[in-house]
Amino acid sequence: MAKVEKRANAGMTGEKYTEKCSELLRKIISAAYGAGEIMVNASPHDEDVMAKGGRANYVTVFDEKVQEFLLKELSRILPEAHFVGEEEGQEIFLPEYGKGFTFVVDPIDGTSNFMRDYELSVTSIALLKDGRPYIGVIYNPYADRIFYAEKGCGAFENGRQIFTSPDPLSHSLVSMGTAPYYADEITHSAFEIGNWYLKRSIDIRRSGSAAWDLCLIASGRTGLFYEPLLCLWDYAAGACILEEAGGTITDMHGEILAYRGKSSILAVTAGVAKEDYLPPVELMRE
């Protein structure tokens, strides 16, 4: 744990952070570093993979180990908070999660990448306050890059404040998620929309981790991200980081998010938000 704390302190040298942000955020960042250490030291083998319900939807023993670690750490940091983790299988958003504090955790976002040693997976921790994102922390242990934000304090990457890009869509990269675990029709629609955006942007990217895609847009690397269906733990932390970096996140119809569970996601930079960027309704099959 000493190494974990040293790294957390190293990331905290940005003046703006120390002036404005809380001890609570610093502790959650430490927990995310600890989760990342478990991920990078893991060697996922086939026998560690257990099928979760649905197509292309997996969980490894490491998803469960990281979640156990985070449950322990985060409960110590804020004992009164509720805890919703992907591997708990808690699909229903209970009314009490919308009051006070609730941690929403994806221990490993990008599990299909993780299982294949693709080295693009992250830990994603959101803290909701009265049902809205209040803190977001996302750590990519392979690149040793941590993104974090606290409501009203700005967003940061490894201690440096980040902002979305002012570029228009025509000068931006677009990243998409394919929702491969749902009906083929939804996936088909994702590609049709991708084709529509391809003609209006520089090119399309697909990382396999929605949380990571939200960090890329928050830090000005991409201009727009969409995925037809995501769970709350996939997008809650990223939403906090993106909004604090000046971006906008809605569902794919442009509606405000309720933060109650599954939703389509459409995220844009300050630059793209000035345009008519919503995909045509006839391409959507939600």
Q: Which stretch binds Ca ion (CB under 5 A): 39-47, 80-88, 121-129, 160-168?
A: 80-88
Give the residue with the Cβ less far from Ca ion, 86 or 251.
Answer: 86
For the CB of residue 189, give the shortest distance to Ca ion in the complex, in Å: 23
Give the residue with the Cβ less far from ligand 2AM, 109 or 251.
Answer: 109
Q: Which two tokens stand for residue 209?
A: 């981790």
Query: How many alpha carbons fall within 13 Å on the CB side of residue 145?
Result: 15
Give the residue with the Cβ less far from Ca ion, 106 or 150.
Answer: 106
Range 74-113, binding ligand 2AM (CB under 6 A): 86, 106, 109-111
Query: Can residue 243 be called a binding residue for Ca ion (CB under 5 A)?
Result: no
Among 64, 73, 106, 244, binds Ca ion (CB under 5 A): 106
**Residue span 113-152 as binding mask against ligand 2AM, x where in contact by CB under 6 A, dash where not:** ----------------------------------------
Give the residue with the Cβ less far from ligand 2AM, 105 or 268.
Answer: 105
Give the residue with the Cβ less far from ligand 2AM, 107 or 246.
Answer: 107
For the CB of residue 127, give the shortest distance to ligand 2AM in the complex, in Å: 18
The Cα–Cα gap between 27 and 31 comes to 6
150: CB partners within 8 A, 6+ apart? 21, 22, 24, 25, 134, 135, 240, 244
Query: Can residue 13 be called a binding residue for ligand 2AM (CB under 6 A)?
Result: no
- How many residues at the interface with ligand 2AM, by CB under 6 A? 18
Give the residue with the Cβ less far from Ca ion, 58 or 163.
Answer: 58
For the CB of residue 106, give the shortest distance to Ca ion in the complex, in Å: 5
Q: What is the chain's length?
A: 286
Residues in contact with ligand 2AM by the rule CB under 6 A: 54, 57, 86, 106, 109-111, 177-178, 181, 208-210, 227, 229-231, 234
Residues in contact with Ca ion by the rule CB under 5 A: 86, 106, 108, 111
